[in-house]
Amino acid sequence: MTVEPFSIHIPDSEISDLRDRLQRTRFAPEFANDGWQYGANGTYLQELLTYWANDYDWRAQEAEINRFSHFKTTIEDVPIHFIHEKGKGPNPTPIILSHGWPWTFWDWHKVIGPLTDPVAYGGRAEDSFDVVIPSLPGYGFSNPLTTPGMNFWRSADLWVTLMRDVLGYDKFAAGGGDWGALLTAQLGHKYAEHLIGIYVHLMAPLNLFNGDLPPASDYGPEEAGYYERNENFFSEESGYSAIQSTKPQTLAFALNDSPAGLCAWILEKRRTWSDCGGDVEKRFSKDELLTTMSIYWFTQSYGTSARYYYECLHNPWQASHNRSPVVEAPTGIGVFKEEVVLMPRRWANDYYNIQHWTEMPAGGHFAPMEEPAALVADIRSFYRKLRDGAR
C-alpha cells in the first residue's frame, strides 16, 4: 500500500459551473413554513444560496484546508483520504477521529491544533496527539468508491489497516461522532487489543439498524425525557435515513445535479441536530456551512455517502465475540445534551467498558464544530487517565 501526499485543488471550471447552477435555481413554492416544520425554510435557503453564488470564496477555504498534511492511499480497492498531523509533545498518542453524515472530515479541523500542539493552546505538552482524520469511504475525497458493502464495521477494518500497517501505530486511540461513534465503538469491540481506548460523543447499540433500543425502564430519574426524545427522533426526524437506507441512488441523481437541493438536504439537518435554538448561524457561519456543501458538491459524494446507510441496513452487524461488555476497550463518553439520541447510563455501563463520563452543559450532534474546546478538554482528560493508569 502506497501513501501519496495529496493537495486539494478544484478546477476553475467546476467553481464556475457551481455558480451558474446556483444563479439558475428554480425554487419550490412554499407557504406556512416559517418554523421549518415542513423542512428547509425557503427564505433562509435563498439567502444562503445567494451568498454561495456571489460571496463565498472556495479558494480561501481550500487554502485553509490545505494548511494541513493530506494523504491518499488505497486499502482493499477502497480509496482513502486522510489528514495526518504529528503531535509536538514528548510522546504523542496516536488517535484516529471519524466523522459521520452529513459531516465531512473538515468537521474535526478545530480540534487538530489543540490536540497536536496543546502548549500553544494553554495545555500540557504530555497531552499531545498524532491526529489522523480520514474521510469515510465514499465521503469527500475518499472517492471514487466503486466497492459495494462499505459501512461502519467494514470501515473499522480499514482503519486498523491504515493505523497499523500503513502508518505503523501498533496501538492507537480512536474517537468519533455519528457514524464515527459507531465505527469507533466497533474498533473497541472487534479490535480492543489494538486500542489504547476509545472516546465517543454519541452512544447507540452496534446493531442499531437491526436491533432494539434500550427500554424506557433503563432510564433513571435524572434522565427524564431522554426516552421520549429518542422516540421523537425516530418517528419525526428519521425520514432521511429511511430514504438513504433503501433507495439512495434515486435521491443521488437529484442532489448530484442541484446544488440548491443538496444544500437544503444538508442544511436542515445542521439546524435541527445542532444546539442552535433554531438559528443555525449560532453554531455555523455561512462559510462553515458552505464548505461542507462544497466538499459534497465538488467530490460528487452525496450518493456514496448515502449508500453508507443502505449498506448498514442490508448487511446486518454481527458480533465478533460474545464477551461482556460488548465494547471492551476502555471507553470515554461525552454526553452533549442536544444530541439526537441519548442513551441511559444503566445501559451504557453494561455495553461499554466505561472509564470516563462527562455530561456537557451545551452542544449537539456536531460536537467538534459546536463545542471544540470542551471536546478537546474532555479527550485530553480521558486519555490522561489512561496514561497515568498505565504507569
> Which amino acid does the sequence have at 173?
A
- The most distant pair of C-alpha atoms in the chain lies apart, rounded to whole Å, by 64
Scanning 226-371, the segments in alpha helix (DSSP H) are 226-236, 239-246, 248-257, 259-273, 286-299, 302-314, 345-351, 367-370
Quick one: average pLDDT of 31-60?
Answer: 98
CATH number for the domain spanning 303: value is 3.40.50.1820
pLDDT confidence of residue 85: 98
Return the percentage of the chain with pLDDT > 90, whole number. Answer: 98
In a domain, 31, yes or no: no
pLDDT confidence of residue 389: 72
In a domain, 103, yes or no: yes
pLDDT confidence of residue 1: 79
Catalytic residue among 178, 199, 219, 378: 178
Query: What tens digit of pLDDT does each residue of 136-149 get?
Result: 999 999 999 999 99
Q: How far apart are CA 105 and CA 133, in angstroms?
A: 6
Q: Is the confidence at residue 391, as pLDDT, over 60? A: no
| Cα 237 to Cα 48, 247, 333, distances in angstroms | 23, 18, 24
Q: Is 107 helix (H, G, I), strand (E, B) or coil?
A: helix
Across all residues in the chain, what is the average pLDDT?
Answer: 97
Task: Dig out the grid coordinates for 197 from the structure.
Answer: 481506548
Phi, psi of 389 (to 5 degrees): -70, -25
Number of domains observed in the structure of the chain: 1
Catalytic residue check, 275: no
The residue with cell 478545530 is 110
pLDDT confidence of residue 37: 97
Catalytic residue check, 194: no
Q: Is 166 helix (H, G, I), strand (E, B) or coil?
A: helix
In a domain, 225, yes or no: yes
Q: How far apart are CA 28 and CA 41, in angstroms?
A: 11
In a domain, 221, yes or no: yes
pLDDT confidence of residue 26: 98
Quick one: average pLDDT of 363-373?
Answer: 98
Phi, psi of 245 (to 5 degrees): -85, -15
pLDDT confidence of residue 390: 61
pLDDT confidence of residue 81: 98
User: What's the burial of 45, exposed, middle or buried (CB within 10 Å: 0-12/13-18/19+)?
Assistant: buried
Task: Dig out the grid coordinates for 92 from the structure.
Answer: 504523542
Catalytic residue among 56, 226, 309, 310: 309
In a domain, 33, yes or no: no
In a domain, 28, yes or no: no
Query: What tens digit of pLDDT does each residue of 319-351 get?
Result: 999 999 999 999 999 999 999 999 999 999 999
When pLDDT is cut at 50, 70 and 90, the band that residue 387 belongs to is: confident
Q: What is the extent of the structural domain holding 130?
A: 4-23+39-390
Quick one: average pLDDT of 294-323?
Answer: 98
Q: How far apart are CA 351 and CA 361, in angstroms?
A: 24
Catalytic residue check, 191: no
Quick one: average pLDDT of 10-28?
Answer: 98
